[in-house]
Structure 1
Amino acid sequence: MIHHLDHLVITTTDEQACVDFYVGVLGMTLVVFGEGRKAFSFGQQKINVHVKGSELEPKAHLPVPGALDLCFIADRPLDEVISALQAKGAAIIEGPVPRTGATGPIRSIYLRDPDLNLIEISEPMAGRADRR
């Protein structure tokens, strides 16, 4: 019944800090749509941005900043991601460590966005089975 994720919504307390992190640090593309709504585009997905207290309806039952745990698959080797993040002053809080992703083994690092959401960035490990 479900094929893939189209978008998800992140709630932030500081829209500009959120933009700076997802665009400036993680390299996503800022998209402005509708009546000034913002989103971060990457691959064929996007993250819509809601500001706490000004969320659009309908919304999650309890939209709160800092409640997400997101895992992204990198478009380059994880060691290059680590170097790029360090060059931008981003603090890696754990990793690299082995984990299990949706399609098999991954190697991951962890950091936090400005709202303290947990951000995992990963690369597939050798011998990965593609299970779509």
Structure 2
Amino acid sequence: MAFKMDHIVLNVVDVDAMLHFYVEVIGVHGERVDDFRDGTVPFPSVRLNQDTIIDLFPKTMWGKDNPDQVCRPNLNHFCLVTDKRNWEELQQRLERNGIPADDGPVKRWGAHGTGISIYFRDPEENVIEVRYYEGSGEGKPCLLGS
């Protein structure tokens, strides 16, 4: 059985800061931003590709049960993959915006073998890994338990 990722959801405190980061720094497109701002939809999203989005849930959606706490999910990090040129451009944008790397560039194994990764944080401390794979067909697919 094979799956594609449809979306992930990040619980956020400052929607505007997160939209700025993902759209302006990472370079992805905002979705439903105007509809969110005028109250038509409960949250905006950013589109990673034709199949995958990140939903940005404002505190009004996740803070009902614990209004005085900032939700910190059990997410360790998520990984985005791109080509080498875009990866290098992203590194430059991170530097221009004063966003330090937590780690990298480092070689790490992933769904398509070994790639070159950099790790950094968004404005709400979610760890993001961005990688590229050198060469085509390098490595084997990631299998659970392998």
Which band: TM-score by shorter chain? 0.7 to 0.9
* Structure 1 position 87 matched with structure 2 position 130: no
Structure showing the higher strand proportion among its residues:
1
1:71 matched residue in structure 2:
79
Alpha-carbon distance in 2 for matches of 1:53, 1:26: 25
From 43, 50, 54, the equivalent of 1:47 is 54
Give how far 1:72 is off.
0.6
Matched AA of 1:73: V
Structure showing the higher helix proportion among its residues:
2
- Contact 1:66/1:116 (CA < 8 Å) preserved in 2? no
TM-score normalised by structure 2 residue count:
0.74
State the SS of the aligned residue for 2:79: strand
Alpha-carbon distance in 2 for matches of 1:2, 1:128: 20
- In structure 2, relative to structure 1, the CA distance for the partners of 1:71 and 1:111 (3 Å cut) is same
Alignment length, in residue pairs?
126
State the SS of the aligned residue for 1:9: strand
Give the alignment's Cα RMSD to 1 decimal: 2.5
Give how far 1:40 is off.
0.5
- Contact 1:66/1:117 (CA < 8 Å) preserved in 2? no
Alpha-carbon distance in 1 for matches of 2:112, 2:88: 21
Give how far 1:103 is off.
1.3
State the SS of the aligned residue for 1:84: helix
Range moving further from structure 2, 82-91 or 8-17? 82-91
From 111, 122, 128, the equivalent of 2:131 is 122
Gaps in structure 1 of 5+ consecutive residues: 56-62
Q: Please say which structure displays the higher CA radius of gyration.
A: 2
- Contact 1:8/1:48 (CA < 8 Å) preserved in 2? yes
Matched AA of 1:129: G
